[in-house]
Chains A and B, each alone.
Chain A
C-alpha cells in the first residue's frame, strides 16, 4: 500500500481538529475543508483550508483533495464516513480512504445485512426486518412486529431518524419525519424496524482490522442517551466482567473478520440485566467516544487508523492492555430544561478545565449555528478507579464555563452526582425516565446578574489587596 503523503480531513468541528492533531504530531501535511457556515470555526483556520458548499458532496471533497495535493482522505464520523459509494469514489480517484473498504462497509455498514451476518455466525441479534424505503412497507413492518419497536436508519447511526414506538399513533407522520432525518443525514432513506429490548445497556467494542485479522481494544458503555444520542460514555462498563468481556470481544472480532474488516470499527450490542447480549450494528468508522478507549489503552486511534491505511502492522491482541477508568461527557448546545431543544447563539465565554488526566476535544468558533449537529466539545477524564474518574470529571465540569447558549453541562454534572450513576445503574431509558427537576440555579446567581447589569465595579486598590489572586487561570 502506498504511503500517505498528505491528508485531507473531510469533516468539521471537534473531529476535524482531533484528526488534525494526530496528523500534525506525525508531521503529516494536511488540508481541511469548510463551508460558509463554518468560516469562523477552528478547522477553517488551518493553513490549508478549502471552502466547499457541502460536507456531503463527493465531487467537492474529491476536488479539494486534488487541489491540495492530498493522496488520502480521513472522513471523521458522520457525513461521508460510512458511505461505501464515497469510499469507492476515493479509491477510483487513486486516493487512500482512511477507513474500511467499500466492500466491508457494504457488508456491515448496512444494518440489515450486518444482522444477517451475525445470525449466520450464531451471534444473537434482536428481531428485526428491513430495510424498506416505501413508507407503506415500513408501517406494515411496524404493525406486524408489534409494539414496542425501534425505527432506525439503515445507513447510519447517531440517532438520526431513530424513533421508539410504544404505540402506533401518528405512525405515518413519525415515519415521514424519520425518513426525512435519515435522508438529510445520510442521503439514503431506507429504514429498518427492530424489536425494542428493554431495559438494556448499550455496550460497544472498539475493533481494528487489517483486512484479515481483527483485534478488540476494549468495551465502552454508552447507555446514557437522550433522543437516542449518547451523552456520557465510559470504559470499562460496570456490567461487564472478564468472562462477558471475552465473549463480547470474540463476537465483535468474528463479525469483522468474516467481512475482511480493515481499519477502525465499533461493534454495538444491547446487554440485558441478565447478561444476555444482542448484536445491534457495526459502526464502520472512528466514533465520537473513541477518546474513552484512548485514555484506557494509551493508544492514539487516529494514528493507528493512518498506520493501517498505509498497510502498517496491526498490534497483536496479546500486546494490548486497558487500565483505569475513563468517562466522556459530550457537551451539546441544547437545553435539558427545555425539552433538550437546540440552543444556538454567540459564544460569549469559553473556558476549559486543565489537568493531566482531563482531555478536552473541541472545535467551535465564535457562535453555534443550527446547520450542523449540536456537539460542541467532549470532556474526557481518566483515573485509576471509577469513583475517582467520577470525581475528576465533576471537578473538570466545575472548571468549565460555556456562556452565551445553553449546554447540557449542568445535567452531566448532576448525573455524575446521582446515587444510581455511582452504583452503575445505567440503562438506555434511564435519562428519559429520570426526573431532572428544575434547572439548578445557586442563590448567588440572581444578585450576580443584577450586579452585572449594574456594570463593572470600579477597582479600589484596597479590595484587590484583600482578595489576592482572584483571576481564573
Chain B
C-alpha cells in the first residue's frame, strides 16, 4: 500500500488525495512549515495559542521602526485610535486600538527597531 505522503529531502513532496498523488513544495524553519502548490502558499505553525490579551495590546505585526507613539500611560483611548505608527519597507503602518481602554504600559520609544510580536502599547 502506498503511503499517504512522501516527503523528499529536496523540498518536494507528494500527498495522496482523493484524486491521486499531488505534488507540493515545502520548507521547514523550526516550528513553521510552509507549503506551496499551484500558486497557493500557506504557513503552518506548531506553536499555537493566541494571547489572552488579544485586543488589549498593540503588537508589532512585522519588524519595523517605531516612528510615532501618540499616546501616554493613563490616556483613555477609543476603538480605532492610533496607538503607534511603525515603518517598514518605506511605508508607514498605523496600529489602532481594537477596543476602548486606558493605556497601562508603553514598551517602546520612537526610533526603536522592534521585532515581530513585540507588544508596543498595552491597554487595560
A-to-B contact residues, CB < 8 Å: 159-160, 170, 173, 176-177, 180-181, 184-185, 227, 333, 338, 341-344, 346, 348-349, 351, 369-374, 394, 397-398, 400-404, 406-407, 409-410, 412-413, 439-457, 463, 466-467, 470-472
The reply to whether A342 and B88 form a contact with Cβ atoms under 8 Å apart is yes
A to B contact number (C-beta, < 8 Å): 173
The residues of B that contact A466 with a CB separation of less than 8 Å are 2
Residues of A within 8 A of B29 (CB): 346, 348, 404
- Tell me the bound Cα distance from A193 to B2 in angstroms: 65
CA distance A351 to B22 in the complex (A): 18
A451 proximity list for chain B (CB < 8 A): 4-5, 7, 13, 15
Q: Which 3 A-B pairs have the closest CB atoms?
A: A348-B27, A451-B5, A413-B39
Mask of B51-88 contacts with A, CB within 8 angstroms, 1/0: 00000000001111101101000000000001001011
Contact B34 A404 (CB under 8 A): yes
Give chain B's interface residue range (CB within 8 Å of chain A): 35 or more
> Could you name 29 residue pairs across A and B whose Cβ atoms are closer than 8 Å?
A173-B70, A173-B82, A176-B68, A177-B67, A185-B90, A342-B62, A342-B91, A343-B62, A344-B63, A349-B36, A371-B89, A373-B91, A374-B89, A394-B39, A400-B39, A403-B26, A403-B41, A404-B29, A409-B41, A440-B40, A444-B17, A444-B37, A449-B33, A452-B7, A452-B28, A452-B35, A454-B7, A467-B14, A470-B12
Separation in Å of the A269 CB from the closest CB of chain B?
A: 25
Q: Assess the A181–B90 pair: CB atoms within 8 A.
A: yes
Q: How far is the CB of A368 from chain B (nearest CB, A)?
A: 9
Are the C-beta atoms of A403 and B36 separated by less than 8 Å?
yes
Q: Is the CB of A448 within 8 A of B70?
A: no
Secondary structure type dominating chain A contacts: mixed
A471 CA / B61 CA spacing, docked (Å): 36
Note all chain B residues with C-beta closer than 8 A to A404: 27, 29, 34
Q: Main secondary structure on chain B at its contact with chain A? A: strand
Interface centre among B7, B41, B62 (most CB of A within 10 A): B41
Asked if A160 and B39 make an inter-chain contact with CB atoms under 8 angstroms apart, the answer reads: no
| Chain B residues, CB < 8 A from A407 | 41
Residues of the A chain whose Cβ atoms lie less than 8 Å from the Cβ of B46 = 453
Query: Known contacts A349-B27, A448-B15, A452-B13: does B5 contact A442 (CB below 8 Å)?
Result: no
Distance to closest chain A CB from B65 (angstroms): 8
Please give the distance in Å from A369's CB to the nearest CB on chain B.
Answer: 8
Is A370 a contact of B88 with CB atoms below 8 Å? yes
A410–B38 CA distance with the chains assembled, in angstroms: 9
With contacts A160-B90, A444-B17, A447-B5 taken as known, whether A341 is within 8 angstroms of B62 at the C-beta atoms is yes
Docked CA distance A348–B32 (Å): 11
A453 proximity list for chain B (CB < 8 A):
28, 33, 44, 46
Q: Decide yes or no whether B8 CB sits under 8 A from chain A.
A: yes
In the assembled complex, the CB of A40 is this many whole angstroms from the nearest CB of chain B, namely 17
**A452 lies within 8 A of B26 (CB):** yes
Most buried by A among B4, B14, B62, B68: B62
CB neighbours of B33 from chain A (8 A): 449, 452-453
Q: Report if B109 contacts A (CB, 8 A).
A: no
Most chain-A Cβ atoms within 10 A of its Cβ — which of B3, B11, B89?
Answer: B89
Which residues does chain A contribute within 8 Å of B7, judged by CB atoms? Answer: 451-452, 454-457
> Closest CB of chain B to A360's CB: distance in Å?
14
CB-contact partner of B35 in A373, A445, A457, under 8 A: A445
A447: which B residues are within 8 A, CB to CB? 4-5, 15
Q: How far is the CA of A348 from the CA of B72 in the complex (A)?
A: 40
Q: How far is the CB of B104 from chain A (nearest CB, A)?
A: 23
Interface flag for B9 (CB, 8 Å):
yes
Q: A370–B26 contact, CB under 8 A?
A: no
Given contacts A185-B90, A401-B25, A456-B8, contact A442 B3 (CB under 8 A): no
Which A residue's beta carbon lies closest to that of B22?
A444
A441 touching B42 in the complex, CB below 8 Å, given contacts A170-B82, A471-B12: yes
Complex Cα distance, B62 from A472, in Å, reads 32
Asked if B112 is at the interface of the complex by the 8 Å CB criterion, the answer is no
Task: Output the residue of A227, A374, A403 with the most chain B CB within 10 A.
Answer: A403
Q: How close is B93's CB to chain A, nearest CB, in angstroms?
A: 7
Query: Which chain B residues border A160 with CB–CB below 8 Å?
Result: 90-91
State the Cβ distance, B103 to closest chain A Cβ, in Å. Answer: 17
The answer to whether A348 and B6 have CB atoms under 8 Å apart is no
When the two chains form their complex, are residues A401 and B89 in contact, meaning their CB atoms are under 8 A apart?
A: no
Contact B10 A444 (CB under 8 A): no
Q: Is the CB of A471 within 8 A of B10?
A: yes
Contact B5 A457, beta carbon cutoff 8 Å: yes
A467 and B85 in contact, given A403-B36, A404-B29 (Cβ under 8 angstroms):
no
In the bound complex, residues from chain B placing their C-beta under 8 Å from that of A398 are 38-39
Task: Say yes or no for B124: interface residue by CB 8 A criterion.
Answer: no
Pair B64/A463 contact, Cβ less than 8 Å? no
Are A402's CB and B41's CB within 8 A?
yes
Say whether A448 contacts B90, CB under 8 Å. Answer: no
Determine the chain A residues whose CB is within 8 A of the CB of B22 once the complex forms.
Answer: 444
The reply to whether A444 and B15 contact each other, CB–CB distance below 8 Å, is yes
Question: Hey, which chain A residues are within 8 Å of B26, CB to CB?
Answer: 403, 448-449, 452
Set B2, B35, B40, B63: member contacting A449, Cβ < 8 A: B35
Per the bound structure, the CA–CA distance linking A454 and B65 in Å amounts to: 37
Q: Which among A370, A403, A463 is the interface contact of B89 at CB below 8 angstroms? A: A370
